[in-house]
Amino acid sequence: MRKPHTTRHLSVAAIATGLVLFAASPSIAGADRVRSEGELVRYGTGHHVPAGATARVQAVYNAAGDTIVTLHVRGLLPNHEYGAHAHSFACHATNPMAAGGHFQHVPFPQGSSATDPAYANPTNEIWLDVTTDEEGNAVAQTKVPWQFSPDRAAGSVMLHAEHTHTGPDGPAGTAGARLACLTVDF
């Protein structure tokens, strides 16, 4: 299996900006934060994710301080719904739980839970649910009003068996079994 290929692009302007401004400033518009693509790591029986299925994830920062994340998937089951989110850690070869929970911009506090809709929502997490076309391909995009910090960022995008459950009464953010994963060094 091919290892996902991750690249970071830092323009001269971005580096110069970084020298002048504090790191907390939003990065310049259009700067690629990260791009990763490769064969999905498949878990379980794998029959919902055909061998050779691939994903590509791109994250871009804009001047307003948002992060725009795009997911392309290829070679999945045709006309099929999958949930997808950014998770905290990189994909493990055989243990889907090693990717941790959903990355949350504001982590749920003590006494709350990962599925509290106040934290498990598409503004505080990166949700990329897809419905594939007749060839098993799909694209999803989300925009969140925050950026990753250098010391705290997501590590993967995980595909799930169902579209993401949501709503004010929780539990929110759940999407069934973890099916497949792409490491993304956000």
| Radius of gyration for the chain, computed over Cα atoms and rounded to the nearest angstrom | 16
Nearest distance from C-beta of residue 153 to Cu ion, angstroms: 16
- Residue 106 tokens read as 């504001």
Q: Give the Å distances, CA to CA, from 79 to 29, 76, 123, 131, 136.
A: 35, 9, 27, 6, 7
What 3-state class would DSSP assign to 13? helix
Nearer to Cu ion, 37 or 125 (CB): 125
CB of 117 to Cu ion, least distance (A): 15
Site string for Cu ion, 65-104 (x = CB under 5 A): --------------------x-------------------
Q: How far is CA 28 from CA 33, 138, 169, in A?
A: 10, 29, 38
CB of 18 to Cu ion, least distance (A): 31
- Judged by CB under 5 A, does residue 120 bind Cu ion? no
- Shorter beta-carbon distance to Cu ion: residue 74 or 165: 165
Q: How many positions of this chain bind Cu ion (CB under 5 A)?
A: 2
Q: Shortest approach of Cu ion to residue 102 CB, angstroms? A: 5
Ranges within 145-164 binding Cu ion (CB under 5 A): 158
Given its phi and psi angles, is residue 136 left (phi above 0), alpha (psi -120 to 50 degrees) or beta? left
Cα dist. 185→57, 137, 157, 167, 171 in Å? 10, 23, 10, 29, 28
Nearer to Cu ion, 61 or 103 (CB): 103
Interacting residues toward Cu ion by CB under 5 A: 85, 158
